[in-house]
């Protein structure tokens, strides 16, 4: 069983249709268009909708930040494997665009990274099983439901997963403040996987050694640092910008 709470996450879970929802709990105190839309979508899928008091919603969600709606799934989050991400890339007909997270531990950062990746057009996300945040209700909420539309592979050995990507023709670009070349001066419009390291220590040495590109994000100002979610968002949108520029150039025959 897994839990998804919050208006946007539950709405996106219903839209994605990945996994069976056994019941949706709705607050007895709230009623607006977003709630009505959730009830209609649930009815269309023959999902049981139950009105519940705030205390009951908090007990099921494990938090008071549920916004009056909680979805209860029959199974666990549907992680995929590397092969599914590779298949998704090949089926897209576009250049590979993958995000690798090396031991991101903060649920808010993880959720924010999934949200940014989804918005930027990333085809799949790879995370390690150990020493890293997993897809929890808090992560789904932080992602605004983007986890429900994303392919997330959870692997035992991140280095081996990276090598599988490289064997498939994907180039690996590590993002870290200590690296010399900047992301804006590096050509990243081909088949690319972006690596973001952990909040405290960055990328592990063995992961860093697998990177074909080692680039940084130039910063100005007195506070010369960004957290992992901010750095990841900048990185994936810069790669997305470069890919779009290349598509436009090729479409124009330039």
Interval 62-91 mean pLDDT: 95
> Could you give the domains of the chain?
2-73 (3.30.1330.30), 82-251 (3.40.1280.10)
3-class SS letters over the chain: CEEEECHHHHHHHHHHCCCCEEEEEEECCCCCHHHHHHHHHHHHCCCEEEEECHHHHHHHHCCCCCCCEEEEECCCCCCECHHHHHHHHHHHCCCCEEEEECCCCCHHHHHHHHHHHHHHCCCEEEEECCCCCCCCHHHHHHCCCHHHHCCEEEECCHHHHHHHHHHCCCEEEEECCCCCEEHHHCCCCCCEEEEECECCCECCHHHHHCCCEEEECCCCCCCCCCCHHHHHHHHHHHHHHHHHHHHHHHHCCC
User: Which residues, listed in sequence order, are joined to residue 73 by a DSSP beta bridge?
Assistant: 2, 21
Interval 101-126 mean pLDDT: 98
Please provide residue 176's backbone torsions phi and psi, each rounded to the nearest 5 degrees. -155, 145
Confidence at residue 179, expressed as pLDDT on a 0 to 100 scale: 81
Give 30-69 pLDDT, tens digit per residue. 778 888 999 999 999 999 999 999 999 999 999 999 999 9
Please provide residue 95's backbone torsions phi and psi, each rounded to the nearest 5 degrees. -65, 150
Side-chain half-sphere exposure of 51, counting CA atoms within 13 A: 5
CA distance 231 to 2: 29
CA distance 91 to 17: 20
Spatial contact of 126 and 100, defined as CB atoms under 8 Å apart: yes
Give 153-194 pLDDT, tens digit per residue. 999 999 999 999 999 999 999 999 878 799 999 999 999 999
Spatial contact of 176 and 216, defined as CB atoms under 8 Å apart: yes
Interval 121-139 mean pLDDT: 97
Confidence at residue 21, expressed as pLDDT on a 0 to 100 scale: 95
What number of other Cβ atoms are within 10 A of residue 68's Cβ?
22
CA distance 167 to 214: 19
Confidence at residue 31, expressed as pLDDT on a 0 to 100 scale: 75
- By DSSP bridging, strand 97-101 and strand 69-73 are unpaired
Confidence at residue 254, expressed as pLDDT on a 0 to 100 scale: 58
Structure tokens at 195: 């690596």
Global pTM? Answer: 0.94
Residue given tokens 């031991």 in the structure block? 103
pLDDT at residue 222 is higher than 70 = no
């Amino acid at each position: 069983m897994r839990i998804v709470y919050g208006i946007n996450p539950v709405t996106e879970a219903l839209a994605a249709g990945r996994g069976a929802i056994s019941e949706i709990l709705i607050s007895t105190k709230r009623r607006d268009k977003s709630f009505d839309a959730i009830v209609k979508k649930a009815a269309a899928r023959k999902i049981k909708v139950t009105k519940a008091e705030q205390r009951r919603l908090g007990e099921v969600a494990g938090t008071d930040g549920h916004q009056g709606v909680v979805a209860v799934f029959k199974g666990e989050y549907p992680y995929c494997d590397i092969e599914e991400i590779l298949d998704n890339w090949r089926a897209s007909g576009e250049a590979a665009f993958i995000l690798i997270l090396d031991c991101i531990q903060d649920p808010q950062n993880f959720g924010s990274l999934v949200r940014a990746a989804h918005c930027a057009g990333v085809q799949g996300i790879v995370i390690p099983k150990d020493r890293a945040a997993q897809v929890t209700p808090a992560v789904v909420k932080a992602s605004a439901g983007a986890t429900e539309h994303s392919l997330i592979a959870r692997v035992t050995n991140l280095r081996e997963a990276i090598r599988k990507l490289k064997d498939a023709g994907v180039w690996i670009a590590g993002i870290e403040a200590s690296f010399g070349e900047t992301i804006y001066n590096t050509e990243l419009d081909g088949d690319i996987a972006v690596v973001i390291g952990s909040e405290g220590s960055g990328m592990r040495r063995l992961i860093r050694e697998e990177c074909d590109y080692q680039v940084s994000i130039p910063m100005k100002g007195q506070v010369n640092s960004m957290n992992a979610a901010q750095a990841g968002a900048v990185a994936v949108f810069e790669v997305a910008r470069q890919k779009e520029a290349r598509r436009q150039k090729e479409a124009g025959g330039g």
